[in-house]
Amino acid sequence: MKMSHVGIMVANMDKAVEFYTQALGLSVVMGKTAVEEERETAIGKMCVAVFGEGFQGFNIAHLVSTDGVGFELFEMKQHQERHVVDFSRIGLFHFSLQTDDFESVIEKVVALGGKVRMDIMRYHPEDDNKPYKMVYLEDPFGTLFELYSHTYSETYSSEYE
C-alpha cells in the first residue's frame, strides 16, 4: 500500500496554496479550479455522494510533495469555521511531513500565518547519535500537522537503537 493523498478543507484557497507551496515546499499539480454542484458529470455525481445535497460547489487545488504524496485542498462555498481539533472524536486528526530543513520550515510556517503548537522535542535527548526532532504545527486554518527532522522509520524503529 502506498499513500496517495490527503484532503484538507481551507477557508481561502489563494492563501492555502501560498502556504503549502512556500512554507512546506509542495508543488502545484492543478491550480485553483471551481467545481459546481451538479449531477451530469462523474465528478459532479461523486461530489453529491460525498458532500450531500446542497453543498453549493467549491474550489479545489491539487499539490504534491517531493515524494509524490498529493494534497487536495478544498475551499467550500458555504460558510466555514476555523478547524478546531476535537480529541473526543475518532478519526484522522493530523498529518505529518519530514524535512531536512527543519528550523527553516518552522520559520516559514509562522511567517505565512501558521502556528507552532509546542516546543521542539527530541525523541532521544540523551543520545547525540539520534538527533531526531519533531514539532506539532498548524496551517493558517487550524489544520494540525507534525514536522519530523528524520524519517518515520529512523524515528521509531528499534533497528535504529
User: 90-104: per-residue pLDDT in tens?
Assistant: 888 899 999 999 999
Q: Please indicate, yes or no, whether residues 59 and 36 belong to a single structural domain of this protein.
A: yes
Q: Which of 119, 110, 117 is nearest to 145 (CA)?
A: 117
Q: Which among 36, 77, 5, 62 is positioned nearest to 45, based on CA atoms?
A: 36
Question: Checking phi first, is residue 113 left (phi over 0); if not, alpha (psi -120 to 50) or beta?
Answer: left
**Is the distance from CB of 136 to CB of 93 less than 8 angstroms?**
no
pLDDT of 160:
46
Q: How far is CA 30 from the centre of its chain?
A: 16
Domain boundary among 30, 58, 80: 80
Domain total of the chain: 2
- Portion of the chain with pLDDT greater than 70, in percent: 97
Q: Do 76 and 1 share a structural domain?
A: yes
Instruction: Say how many residues make up the chain.
Output: 161
C-alpha cell of 107? 520559520
**pLDDT number for residue 158:** 62
